[in-house]
Structure 1
């Protein structure tokens, strides 16, 4: 009996043990679909947003009530205790957060949904404000992240102040004059002198006799032109130099023209382009190519209008800054950008290659910079890769989060740019925005230390291992600033600079400057660094951590000077902190004025107090590149509307902001603040104006595309084009008359005439070209304007030449929908959409309601 009882106990125990150890059916995270939505955009009447995550289980296994977290990225702040009770939101680092269910969170059974509501500290403006890249982590497997199923952002119709509606767009568009194609200037940016010989044409066909300059200075540029033209006509040109009476295309040298200046003459008998430099010839060729009617088909004969052009740029530095650190862009996409920059005579590509979220260029001497710093995925310690940022997700499959240019890739970019007279300036962010490099050098330290090489391990270390300083950057990082007190920091800079120089030499490309960042270093860095305290004890000029700034950039400048490279950076590099009437302020730093440094000035946010910073620095003797956020940031949203992507912290920035920018007096055309609300002109009282001396120090303009919201090549095209043409116009062309006209009414009339011409050129000449050129560009197609009048909908578009199509059954218009030619009866749900010559459509506009809701 005793034995029977024992066997029974063993059997029962075995069964229970099996029950406890057997695997439950495992939930596939791909079956969890998440939707984000706005619940209340003025929650509790406090100017804050109540938003929600809805988790829908489309699998066959329940999501348990606990035992998991959802990680996500967000650029927005959440209020403390932000959720409504069934979950907690925890900031991790940077833009990474986690959501953990509480005891109030229910199990989500198959086919059911769970909802987590939370409060953001400010209203939602556009879909960019949604969370990004949610993924699942099980509590019992904390080092592994799992991609979820579909993530969607629910459409939202906001009513906030400053909302740009189709009615507003219509009223803006109706002031645009419709100009016949024949009356449009055919070269852009606008030449200094441009004269069309009406009625005259040069016939481009295979009967053209090519010719070159006597000294063959420009054979490379001429070869490029010949290949382009022969591709257009699908045949080779006549090549007999003894033939008489044939039409000719020649290029030649002419003394006395400016470095990038040229002269172009097109007559029925021939084409001649002359310049003093190969760059001038190249730009003359770009202008000649613009005269050729837009076509995507081979034509045996092409009529090119006769013109006389004398031209040269206004500014020597005409740049685009491309951030590939936050989100990576492929080599092919960079080459496409360079190609179009050259077409519109922009000559500098500033590549933002490193930041907190990524290191994007191979440095052979420091392989960890890419083996760790180029990869983003789920990470608890950043020892093998960086954490997810900007929605890059839990693994390395996301090509926006993970990727870099090999040495061969970068050399190819340099050669390609050099052939098109574009100089590539690399940016290596220091001392802030440097988390990728810091973590990479940490990994190098650990590797070499484990191998017994303590000296090698410490040689490139970028942080004091005993530093207890507590800080938080603007983007919420708490460990992203290089310790400039360490000697190893300068070993690292020497190494990076050395490898960059070698790449440029191998590519035979110019390297006039290296950009070393310098912006947004937060307060309280270095305060508890033993390395700082040691340096301070031996350097009496260092009285506080603020003085490390000048120490650091002085040493970096010395590293570059011995290689004959100039130091470039953001405006903070050229500023010295001081006090005026007891208040901290910044003034131009006299220490570096005569060092030839170049500063890119972005900060002129209207209402933030630094509106005149660029002019202060130029007046103070620094060489300044205007990169003003109010007018020259590609990544700012076009206007205030939920369906327009982009950030908006600095301004709302459509193509009109680029076109209307007045480099020497950007106060004049400032009209709305960063919230899209009309400004008070008293804002500029007491601000520095640009002196005549200061004008000499404004060396150029730069359009900037920061990459946080730019995850695809298509989105990059959308944000840059056609704004880039507006940038080119202001950087190359002389000041138009409306910029200096003192009579406000006259200035407004002159401006509208020029604005209409520009928009007609874009819509009827340049956008049709970009639709097919170089494989085509996914430029932004604007939303139509729509207004209700007398029971009918009227519609118009910002770019004359684009077509508008519409539907009356509530469906989305396609390239085959009805063409809008006249007012449409306001019956049912009418939708309007513009299309380019390739059939691509832009954002939709709905016919406005008869009683629209008032803005709040």
Structure 2
């Protein structure tokens, strides 16, 4: 009997379907490991997946695809195991069987080796968000839950290249770093943080109770209410607030004076507390100083009386722009977490939230007239429909309802954030990333275009289109996207941007919050973009000011600047918006663009990577007349891993950044105290030879400094707080306090001596006062608890720790230390394997270290 081809295909389809229905994705275990960095002596590494079938049915030979996110570029030709790995787009890859793949039988394993670009140091470099798709259900992604990353323990796995001198951080290395910290007596500490201009502690104390009233100048009603809220959280009773009349036996007075706008004076005696300032901001900062004078445990439980030391403080900030940058596009944070961040910023006198609201991987702000921006651009997941949402990125997985890949702020949310920030004297600067890093916007407007074209509304469909449908340009962004740049030659791009700007302005007006600038991004537009766009070629042919593709950059930001000026706003962006490409000895060369200087553009300068050659870029731009916010990756990128350790999350392409990096950053001369290159090696300071120094005129153009948290590796509020803290203390100190003596001392030996003393005092304040405060303040923070350092000396295990205020506990039986384990109080004489861990006052522990006492 003859069987038709159609019948055969039906049988095959049913066979595949029955196999996939029988095979449960829970029965596939996946482990990934690094085989070696510097594979074949090139800037590449080899790694491997091991797939183990723990079920009772075979993984089929065909009919499935695995997807995963991976921040490296895979060489498809290097893949073994009968499968293919290829990039989909961005950081999304897929792994699928070749024609001769034999499946994985029940109980068997398969090893798949492949080569990728660059190298691996920690677990966040590894593949993430793995899920499987069955061919008969191409829109349904099933997460693979049994996935582990094997730690790298051998030098070939963690040394990045032959000249890499830095291994993984060991307890002995940590011990050596910590031993320079000097003991500091509590009575020698400045108890106001950040360090004020002057601080004098006097005998006696003011006793703060629920009966203490607040007496305020009418101009400071907002600040009085916030202080009352803080005190009611401590005493569970709202203090009385008055503007005149009987002050009572003891009181806190908020008094008007003629100081500079953000300056204040704080005087505490046995009888009263007086905060004097000319503005609400000054009063507010005086209140924050009062809060840091309170014992850290004041926020732990309801109090009846708190002694506050008698002090006299005069204070004012060093810089007007004291910023924290948060990326919520790569991984989203809910409104409540943003309000909590604002509480933290306010406590330590940071006054700008730079809010990165869109990127390739997400659009996070509701724009009602362009609903696709949030209907499509705020969602990530596997649906099989490119117009429905964005693909998974950074391990967000296939579920469109995932917690951190999907999300946005409604108008009401954003207005709440603006009002909350303004009450705490924090400006929120929105960033609308353009023209690159814009895939979420581009694809959202593509979806709008498709919807309206189906409705027969061609003119409306094209009104806000962001890409030229005829563009054949080939490019790949740093993050792997090949379709993430707005087309700057199309009028619809500018109509889109103006529509977004108008609606952002409206939200600020509805919140009653002033808006002076919008950040328009401008970084990392890849080579090759616009080169084969008919729209761009038409503009080049018709506009005499645009001679080539490079000139499109200046054309774009010129138009954006003019549009913003028409609305009374200034243009703010990344350093690239202030640069002009030219030639030097026939090679591409970048200089500060003289065309934009007159418009007082404000720029964030991130690239001071030590060893890349642009170490002085911030100073070049400030000297040229640009308003500069120091946002330097070497010291101020909080998404950088704390140290070189496999279990330490974060990137490290620009540096490793612990709390010391922002602390020893000298804004006007960051060459002076630079200590490490981007690999963590001791710095050869000859790289600064011939570099531009900051002139006095240039100093007048340094607006301030900014700590930054990009969120590629930041899933959830706990990781966010871990990466921010305690690094933020160094940022707050440098943004507010004047240059310390060690920063201006010309004698290197004396400068180092002064630095060690100041560093010791700083880490003592952070460890013994501020982190314990944050255990309870604003609901408590998941800051990073430092690991102890340990060495064997004279047959005993000696232990130290970077930050005081933690209890170090240990075990000698191989078990993990707990809050009930022995407390370290002196060298351990016990032989064998010793495990140690630091705990905070709430019993939360840091990472365990292990040392052997032979």
TM range (shorter): over 0.9
Within a 5 Å distance, the mapping from 1:333-344 to structure 2 comes to 333-344=337-348
Paired residue secondary structure (2:192):
coil
Aligned to 1:218: 220
Contact 1:166–1:848 (Cα < 8 Å) also in 2 = no
Aligned to 1:90: 86
Q: Residues 266 and 536 (structure 1 numbering): CA distance in 2 closer, same or farther, change over 3 Å?
A: same
Contact 1:178–1:800 (Cα < 8 Å) also in 2 = no
Paired residue secondary structure (1:70):
strand
Q: Is 1:351 paired with 2:355?
A: yes
Aligned to 1:113: 109
Contact 1:205–1:237 (Cα < 8 Å) also in 2 = no
Distance in 2 (CA, whole Å) between partners of 1:790 and 1:461 is: 72
Contact 1:167–1:848 (Cα < 8 Å) also in 2 = no
Q: Is 1:124 paired with 2:97?
A: no
Aligned to 1:523: 527
Q: Is 1:589 paired with 2:585?
A: no
Q: Is 1:832 paired with 2:832?
A: no
Residue 584 of structure 1, CA deviation: 1.0
Counterpart pick for 1:179 among 173, 178, 184: 184
- The Cα offsets for residues 673-726 of structure 1, whole Å up to 9 and x where unpaired, read as 111112221101111000000000000100010010001110000000111111
Counterpart pick for 2:372 among 360, 368, 373: 368
Distance in 1 (CA, whole Å) between partners of 2:631 and 2:113 is: 39
Moved more, 707-716 or 783-792: 783-792
Within a 5 Å distance, the mapping from 1:795-810 to structure 2 comes to 795-810=799-814
Aligned to 1:261: 263
Distance in 1 (CA, whole Å) between partners of 2:383 and 2:785 is: 39
Residue 426 of structure 1, CA deviation: 0.6
Counterpart pick for 1:702 among 696, 703, 706: 706
Distance in 1 (CA, whole Å) between partners of 2:711 and 2:627 is: 26
Aligned to 1:793: 797
Residue 145 of structure 1, CA deviation: 2.2
Aligned to 1:233: 235
Q: Residues 412 and 558 (structure 1 numbering): CA distance in 2 closer, same or farther, change over 3 Å?
A: same
Moved more, 40-49 or 788-797: 40-49
Contact 2:832–2:852 (Cα < 8 Å) also in 1 = no
Aligned to 2:253: 250
Moved more, 664-673 or 630-639: 664-673
Contact 1:634–1:720 (Cα < 8 Å) also in 2 = yes
Q: Residues 454 and 573 (structure 1 numbering): CA distance in 2 closer, same or farther, change over 3 Å?
A: same
Q: TM-score, normalised by structure 2?
A: 0.95
Q: Residues 404 and 245 (structure 1 numbering): CA distance in 2 closer, same or farther, change over 3 Å?
A: closer
Residue 177 of structure 1, CA deviation: 1.6
Q: Is 1:145 paired with 2:149?
A: no
- The Cα offsets for residues 338-382 of structure 1, whole Å up to 9 and x where unpaired, read as 110000000000011100011011100100011000111125562
Q: Is 1:630 paired with 2:634?
A: yes
Residue 21 of structure 1, CA deviation: 4.7
Q: Residues 21 and 373 (structure 1 numbering): CA distance in 2 closer, same or farther, change over 3 Å?
A: closer
Paired residue secondary structure (2:589):
strand
Q: Residues 47 and 812 (structure 1 numbering): CA distance in 2 closer, same or farther, change over 3 Å?
A: farther
Distance in 2 (CA, whole Å) between partners of 1:421 and 1:155 is: 45
- The Cα offsets for residues 97-141 of structure 1, whole Å up to 9 and x where unpaired, read as 111233564422333332212223333211111111111122344
Paired residue secondary structure (2:682):
coil
Distance in 1 (CA, whole Å) between partners of 2:774 and 2:201 is: 24
- The Cα offsets for residues 584-637 of structure 1, whole Å up to 9 and x where unpaired, read as 111111111111211000001111111111101000000000000000000001
Counterpart pick for 2:151 among 142, 149, 155: 155
Moved more, 560-569 or 236-245: 236-245
Paired residue secondary structure (1:829):
strand
Aligned to 2:281: 279
Within a 5 Å distance, the mapping from 1:465-480 to structure 2 comes to 465-480=469-484
Residue 242 of structure 1, CA deviation: 6.4
Contact 2:216–2:241 (Cα < 8 Å) also in 1 = no
Q: Is 1:79 paired with 2:75?
A: yes
Moved more, 225-234 or 395-404: 225-234
Q: Residues 19 and 302 (structure 1 numbering): CA distance in 2 closer, same or farther, change over 3 Å?
A: closer
Residue 70 of structure 1, CA deviation: 1.0
Residue 826 of structure 1, CA deviation: 5.4
Distance in 2 (CA, whole Å) between partners of 1:367 and 1:121 is: 38
Counterpart pick for 1:650 among 646, 650, 654: 654
Q: Residues 470 and 794 (structure 1 numbering): CA distance in 2 closer, same or farther, change over 3 Å?
A: same
The total of aligned residue pairs comes to 837
- The Cα offsets for residues 135-173 of structure 1, whole Å up to 9 and x where unpaired, read as 112234434322222222122324333122110110111
Distance in 1 (CA, whole Å) between partners of 2:349 and 2:113 is: 50
Paired residue secondary structure (1:109):
coil
| Unpaired runs of at least 5, structure 1 | 1-5, 851-856
Paired residue secondary structure (1:825):
coil
Counterpart pick for 1:69 among 62, 65, 69: 65
Q: Residues 816 and 70 (structure 1 numbering): CA distance in 2 closer, same or farther, change over 3 Å?
A: same
- The Cα offsets for residues 232-289 of structure 1, whole Å up to 9 and x where unpaired, read as 233455789766871221111101x111111110011101101111111100110011
Contact 1:234–1:300 (Cα < 8 Å) also in 2 = no
Q: Residues 269 and 411 (structure 1 numbering): CA distance in 2 closer, same or farther, change over 3 Å?
A: same
Q: Residues 341 and 406 (structure 1 numbering): CA distance in 2 closer, same or farther, change over 3 Å?
A: same
Distance in 2 (CA, whole Å) between partners of 1:416 and 1:30 is: 45
Moved more, 158-167 or 828-837: 158-167
- The Cα offsets for residues 796-854 of structure 1, whole Å up to 9 and x where unpaired, read as 1100121111111222212222111112235332111111111111111111587xxxx
Contact 2:419–2:513 (Cα < 8 Å) also in 1 = yes
Aligned to 2:750: 746
Residue 435 of structure 1, CA deviation: 0.6
Paired residue secondary structure (2:647):
coil
- The Cα offsets for residues 520-553 of structure 1, whole Å up to 9 and x where unpaired, read as 1111111111111111122111100111111111
Q: TM-score, normalised by structure 1?
A: 0.95
Q: Residues 438 and 85 (structure 1 numbering): CA distance in 2 closer, same or farther, change over 3 Å?
A: same
Paired residue secondary structure (2:140):
coil
Distance in 2 (CA, whole Å) between partners of 1:238 and 1:382 is: 58
Aligned to 1:191: 196
Q: Is 1:400 paired with 2:388?
A: no
- The Cα offsets for residues 414-460 of structure 1, whole Å up to 9 and x where unpaired, read as 11111111110110110000011000001111111111111100100
Paired residue secondary structure (1:618):
helix
Counterpart pick for 1:679 among 679, 683, 689: 683
Distance in 2 (CA, whole Å) between partners of 1:202 and 1:588 is: 55
Aligned to 2:674: 670
Q: Residues 179 and 17 (structure 1 numbering): CA distance in 2 closer, same or farther, change over 3 Å?
A: closer
| Unpaired runs of at least 5, structure 2 | 160-164
Paired residue secondary structure (1:218):
helix
Q: CA RMSD in A?
A: 2.1
Distance in 2 (CA, whole Å) between partners of 1:130 and 1:839 is: 31
Paired residue secondary structure (2:679):
coil
Within a 5 Å distance, the mapping from 1:323-472 to structure 2 comes to 323-378=327-382, 382-472=386-476
Distance in 2 (CA, whole Å) between partners of 1:297 and 1:69 is: 53
Aligned to 1:168: 173
Distance in 2 (CA, whole Å) between partners of 1:314 and 1:19 is: 73
Residue 226 of structure 1, CA deviation: 2.2
Q: Residues 848 and 685 (structure 1 numbering): CA distance in 2 closer, same or farther, change over 3 Å?
A: farther
- The Cα offsets for residues 312-346 of structure 1, whole Å up to 9 and x where unpaired, read as 00000000110000111111111111110000000
Aligned to 1:661: 665
Q: Residues 562 and 609 (structure 1 numbering): CA distance in 2 closer, same or farther, change over 3 Å?
A: same
Distance in 2 (CA, whole Å) between partners of 1:775 and 1:782 is: 21
- The Cα offsets for residues 779-806 of structure 1, whole Å up to 9 and x where unpaired, read as 0111111111122211111001211111
